[in-house]
A = this chain, B = another copy of it.
Amino acid sequence: MDINHLTLLTDLYELTMMQGYFKTGNDETVVFDVFYRDNPSGSGYAITCGLDQVIDYIKNLSFSYDDIDYLRNQGIFDEDFLEYLAGYHFTGDIYAIAEGTVVFPREPLLKVKAPIMEAQLVETALLNIINHQSLIATKASRVVYAAGGSGVMEFGLRRAQGPDAGTYGARAAVIGGCDGTSNVLAGKCFDIPILGTHAHSWIMSFDDEYHAFRAYADLYPDSCTLLVDTYDTLRSGVPNAIRVFEELRAEGHMPKHYGIRLDSGDLAYLTKKARIMLDEAGFPDAVIAASGDLDENLITSLKSQGAPITSWGVGTKLITSADCPAFGGVYKLAASKPKGADEFTAKIKISENPAKITNPGNKTIYRIYGKEDGKIRGDLICLVGEHYDESDDLTIFDPQATWKKSTLAGGTYTMRELLVPIFIKGQCVYKSPSVMDIRSYCKDELNTLWDESRRLVNPQEVYVDLSMPLYKLKNELLDANHKK
Question: What is the interface of chain A, defined by CB distance below 8 A to chain B?
Answer: 1-4, 6, 8-17, 19-21, 23-24, 26, 28, 30, 32, 66-67, 70-71, 74, 76, 116, 120, 123-125, 127-129, 131-133, 135-136, 155, 157-169, 182-185, 187-190, 194-202, 204-205, 215-216, 219-220, 222, 230-232, 264-265, 316, 320-322, 325-329, 331-333, 336, 347, 349-352, 356, 481
Question: Closest Cβ of chain B: how far from A116's Cβ, in Å?
Answer: 6
Q: List 14 A-B contacts (CB under 8 A).
A: A3-B167, A8-B184, A8-B185, A11-B158, A66-B188, A123-B201, A127-B158, A128-B157, A129-B162, A158-B331, A162-B162, A230-B349, A232-B350, A264-B352
Complex Cα distance, B165 from A161, in Å, reads 5
**B11 engages A183 (CB within 8 Å):** yes
Contacts of A184 in B (CB 8 A): 8-12, 15, 71
Contacts of A13 in B (CB 8 A): 182, 196-199
Using A17-B201, A129-B162, A132-B161 as known contacts, list a sample of 13 further A-B pairs with CB atoms less than 8 Å apart, ordered by residue number in A. A3-B4, A6-B185, A9-B184, A11-B182, A11-B196, A17-B199, A20-B215, A128-B159, A158-B331, A161-B325, A163-B164, A200-B332, A264-B351
A160 touching B158 in the complex, CB below 8 Å, given contacts A2-B4, A202-B20: no
Contacts of A328 in B (CB 8 A): 159, 316
**A265 engages B352 (CB within 8 Å):** yes
The chain B residue with its CB closest to the CB of A225 is B13
A20 touching B168 in the complex, CB below 8 Å, given contacts A162-B162, A328-B159: no
The chain B residue with its CB closest to the CB of A26 is B205
**A128 engages B202 (CB within 8 Å):** no
Point out the residue from B20, B165, B188, B264 that lies within 8 Å of A132, measured CB to CB: B165
Contacts of A202 in B (CB 8 A): 17, 20
Contacts of A1 in B (CB 8 A): 189-190
The chain B residue with its CB closest to the CB of A199 is B13
The chain B residue with its CB closest to the CB of A22 is B219
Q: Which of A13, A30, A167, A204 has the most CB of B within 10 A?
A: A13
The chain B residue with its CB closest to the CB of A336 is B205
Question: Closest Cβ of chain B: how far from A317's Cβ, in Å?
Answer: 8
**B67 engages A188 (CB within 8 Å):** yes
The chain B residue with its CB closest to the CB of A159 is B326
A182 touching B12 in the complex, CB below 8 Å, given contacts A163-B125, A164-B165: yes
Q: Which of A216, A219, A321 has the most CB of B within 10 A?
A: A219
**B188 engages A159 (CB within 8 Å):** no
Question: Closest Cβ of chain B: how far from A129's Cβ, in Å?
Answer: 7
Question: Closest Cβ of chain B: how far from A172's Cβ, in Å?
Answer: 10
6 tightest CB-CB pairs across the interface, nearest first?
A: A12-B196, A13-B196, A162-B164, A164-B164, A127-B158, A325-B325
**B215 engages A24 (CB within 8 Å):** yes
Complex Cα distance, B196 from A13, in Å, reads 5
Contacts of A11 in B (CB 8 A): 155, 157-158, 182-184, 196
Complex Cα distance, B132 from A320, in Å, reads 11
Contacts of A123 in B (CB 8 A): 158, 199, 201
Complex Cα distance, B195 from A129, in Å, reads 22
Question: Closest Cβ of chain B: how far from A269's Cβ, in Å?
Answer: 12
Contacts of A157 in B (CB 8 A): 9-11, 124, 128
Question: Closest Cβ of chain B: how far from A71's Cβ, in Å?
Answer: 8
Contacts of A21 in B (CB 8 A): 205
Contacts of A327 in B (CB 8 A): 159
Complex Cα distance, B197 from A112, in Å, reads 22
Contacts of A189 in B (CB 8 A): 1, 3
**B129 engages A163 (CB within 8 Å):** yes
**A131 engages B155 (CB within 8 Å):** no
A169 touching B159 in the complex, CB below 8 Å, given contacts A13-B197, A194-B12, A205-B26: no
